[in-house]
Amino acid sequence: MCNSNYSDIKSNYSDTKSNYSDTKELTAPDKKIVQVLQEEFPLCEEPYKILAERAGMSEDEFLARVNDFVREKKIRKLGAVLQHRTAGFKSNALCAWNVPQEKLSEIAAIMSAHCAVSHCYDRNPAPNWNYNLYTMIHAKTREECDGIIAELSKLTGITNYQVLYSKKEWKKTAMKYFSES
């Protein structure tokens, strides 16, 4: 089914918390840890020594807390993201699907299993926009991207959808947490 080299090494499934009050506010030292971790990772023998110093705590304390964050799923991943272009993916589309609500999980699972799909979220539809499932699709060319979308439509039987090709990337950044003024 997947003839591109975009392959699904690991994917995460998670419920999105809908209310702000669903999560306890972080303590000041924890916020500090988040602030230092979200900067570029130091490329040296003992990176955590440097990060711990910036956070004003010992390396052992810092490492223990980072491990807690991983366990508590505050940290999704600690590693690298490649440039899409490095891997040769030049065509990216957001595809919005109109899926019967009772079949949402089943269809989302089929779409998520496809290696060209990097993100798959449900979303509440809007009055003039009746789409409730969203996938990001990556391919080498627009033709390949169109082919993948047609394949997903055939696999799921969902024929009501909108393909939203990007015309211009205005912003793509990692969030700077706890830095709002």
| Integer Cα distance of 140 and 125 in angstroms | 30
Q: How many CB atoms are located within 10 Å of the residue 67 CB?
A: 11
Nearer Cβ to other proteins (150/164): 164
Per the DSSP assignment, residues forming a β-bridge with 41 are: none
Nearer to other proteins, 46 or 150 (CB): 46
Give per-residue burial for 96-128: e unless 16+ CB within 10 Å, then b.
bbebeeeeeeebbebbeebbbbbebebeeeeee
Tokens of 23: 């999560």
C-beta of 177: minimal distance to other proteins in Å?
Answer: 6
Which of 150/163 has CB closer to other proteins? 163
The one-letter amino acid code at 8 reads D
Q: Which is nearer to other proteins, 112 or 153 (CB)?
A: 112
Torsion of CA 4, 146, 172, 170, to 10 degrees: 150
| Least gap, CB of 67 to other proteins (angstroms) | 5
Residue 154: CB minimum distance to other proteins, A: 19
Report the C-alpha gap between 89 and 175 in whole angstroms.
Answer: 23
Considering beta carbons, is residue 44 or 159 the nearer one to other proteins?
44
- What is the closest distance, in whole angstroms, from the C-beta atom of residue 150 to other proteins in the complex? 17
CB of 91 to other proteins, least distance (A): 13
